[in-house]
Copies of this chain bind each other. A is one copy, B any other.
């Protein structure tokens, strides 16, 4: 009796269990999950950091094999610039279909520092654990084939979440449909980029070169995490992003801190003073004009934001800090503002290698997140002007002897290209259809987010192709994306397959 009631409730809420096609997709996954996990482990075992072009090409080749296994016609789209990791493109035409959905994910990953990974883990040696290792999970070996895999297990590896999970769920969503003899209702295209974590510097030229090939009604971007509550979410935009590195100069050679301390300027101290000048104690950026050109949210976006479940207190407790930045705003409200973050900083050594020296240089890497209205290079220029106002002479190269002699405060600033933010309208018909498709896969109400905090080169699609983009993430929120110990929860991988398949069944 109880069971029947529960089933009825589920059917009412979202009809996931009642949806025949998706049940077949689930059955396919359940029957094949060991093989799928093996294939995914092979995919994440190939190193994919920006500098390693040989392995990025191996990754692209492996993805082509995955597509061929699934009967997808594939080709590599090279950038006009030499040495750029190619886009892996694929296409499936559906007879009679009038619309085309193009699925995007990226196969490159963030840089790694293997020394920072937890003992027993290595960025490109995928490793299973019974749960999150920082909260009780244990390293584990896979159950024998035929034994079920717990959805709460994690696979640890660089890009397990960001964003090889995107590649895997898109391709396997399609595979499950075909294996279940379910016909997609739309033409499907696949677009897997290899430079996203570098800021997609060649995406625009690739899009421009292949406009006809890439024609579509909507780009579905599979990247980023689902909501912290575990609920699926559909995201209508992303912040832009641009990185810049700052290098402050001290003496030409490292000096004994006793024989010269108090007299020779210490670049670590000067960099600290410079960075500290950039924000106040609430994290608000003090760079002049930093918030000036932000486009206000529409009423529909404000409403959507208000409906996003607020788990701030829970997340804060889990992350172990007592007071968030801001003056009482929620996480999602603050993500609709531009930000200035220190990604890392270094001067000489700490720990066992620390020595009593005045360092020669001190370096920090900043990332600036952008919201609609901001322009990446304009934002960089505001920061540079701020640095100059602190008395610095800004150089693009190593300072010359003459510059060292002339300027008491010397900093080398190297901005990257970056890209701007983008936001798709919430009331766009195709957007509503994608949301409805995702809703068929889950009894829980799908979270609609006007913008995600992370960045995706959505702006480039809009600019080059006048394309509409909608982001449908699959990864668990606690995936250590971008950092050491990146991981994916297996249940998120499996759920993602259903999500992608559902979108392919869009009429």
**Residue positions of A touching B, CB distance < 8 A:** 51, 110-113, 116, 134, 224-225, 238-239, 241, 243, 245, 249-266, 268-269, 271-273, 275-279, 281, 283, 312, 317-326, 331, 334-335, 337, 339, 341-359, 362-365, 367, 369, 401, 404-408, 410, 452-455, 477-478, 480-485
Is the beta-carbon distance between A263 and B335 smaller than 8 angstroms?
Answer: yes
Q: How far is the CB of A166 from chain B (nearest CB, A)?
A: 15
Contacts of A262 in B (CB 8 A): 283, 325-326, 334-335, 337, 339, 369, 453
Contacts of A249 in B (CB 8 A): 320-321
Contacts of A359 in B (CB 8 A): 342-344
Is the beta-carbon distance between B279 and A276 smaller than 8 angstroms?
Answer: no
Is the beta-carbon distance between A259 and B362 smaller than 8 angstroms?
Answer: no
Closest B residue to A455 by beta carbon equals: B258
7 contacting pairs across A/B (C-beta < 8 A) = A257-B339, A269-B278, A272-B342, A317-B405, A322-B407, A343-B357, A345-B348
Choice from B271, B346, B348, B454 contacting A259 with Cβ under 8 Å = B454
Is the beta-carbon distance between A349 and B263 smaller than 8 angstroms?
Answer: no
Contacts of A348 in B (CB 8 A): 343-345
Contacts of A259 in B (CB 8 A): 224-225, 335, 452-454, 477, 481
Known: A250-B321, A273-B281, A350-B365. A268 touches B453 (CB 8 A): no
Is the beta-carbon distance between B345 and A112 smaller than 8 angstroms?
Answer: no
Known: A252-B318, A356-B241, A482-B356. A369 touches B258 (CB 8 A): yes
Known: A347-B345, A349-B344, A407-B322. A256 touches B482 (CB 8 A): yes
What's the number of copies of this chain in the assembled complex?
Answer: 2
- Which residue of A256, A276, A326 has the most chain B CB atoms within 10 A of its CB atom? A256
- Which residue of A272, A339, A455 has the most chain B CB atoms within 10 A of its CB atom? A272
Supply 13 further A-B pairs (C-beta < 8 A) apart from A224-B259, A261-B367, A272-B272.
A249-B320, A250-B321, A251-B321, A256-B453, A256-B481, A257-B343, A257-B482, A262-B453, A266-B341, A268-B342, A272-B342, A322-B404, A344-B348
Is the beta-carbon distance between A367 and B363 smaller than 8 angstroms?
Answer: no
Known: A262-B337, A347-B345. A319 touches B253 (CB 8 A): yes
Q: How far is the CB of A311 from chain B (nearest CB, A)?
A: 12
Q: How far is the CB of A287 from chain B (nearest CB, A)?
A: 13
Is the beta-carbon distance between B265 and A275 smaller than 8 angstroms?
Answer: no
Is the beta-carbon distance between A265 and B345 smaller than 8 angstroms?
Answer: no
Known: A113-B353, A272-B272, A341-B257. A323 touches B263 (CB 8 A): no
Q: How far is the CA of A262 from the CA of B339 in the complex (A)?
A: 6
Is the beta-carbon distance between A334 and B251 smaller than 8 angstroms?
Answer: no
Is the beta-carbon distance between A110 and B355 smaller than 8 angstroms?
Answer: yes
Choice from B111, B350, B453, B480 contacting A253 with Cβ under 8 Å = B480
- Which residue of A112, A331, A354, A410 has the most chain B CB atoms within 10 A of its CB atom? A354
Q: How far is the CA of A158 from the CA of B331 in the complex (A)?
A: 50
Q: How far is the CB of A200 from chain B (nearest CB, A)?
A: 13
Q: How far is the CB of A28 from chain B (nearest CB, A)?
A: 31
Contacts of A320 in B (CB 8 A): 249, 251-252, 401, 404-405
Choice from B253, B273, B345, B404 contacting A276 with Cβ under 8 Å = B273
Q: How far is the CA of A324 from the CA of B262 in the complex (A)?
A: 8
Instruction: Rank and list the top 9 A-B pairs by shortest CB-CB distance, nearest first.
Output: A254-B483, A258-B454, A344-B348, A323-B408, A320-B404, A268-B342, A252-B320, A262-B334, A272-B275
Is the beta-carbon distance between B344 and A268 smaller than 8 angstroms?
Answer: yes
Contacts of A354 in B (CB 8 A): 111, 243, 245, 343-344, 365
Contacts of A478 in B (CB 8 A): 253
Q: How far is the CA of A269 from the CA of B275 in the complex (A)?
A: 7
Q: How far is the CB of A70 from chain B (nearest CB, A)?
A: 30
Choice from B325, B351, B356 contacting A263 with Cβ under 8 Å = B325
Is the beta-carbon distance between B341 and A350 smaller than 8 angstroms?
Answer: no
Choice from B111, B341, B401 contacting A261 with Cβ under 8 Å = B341
Choice from B110, B321, B355, B356 contacting A265 with Cβ under 8 Å = B321
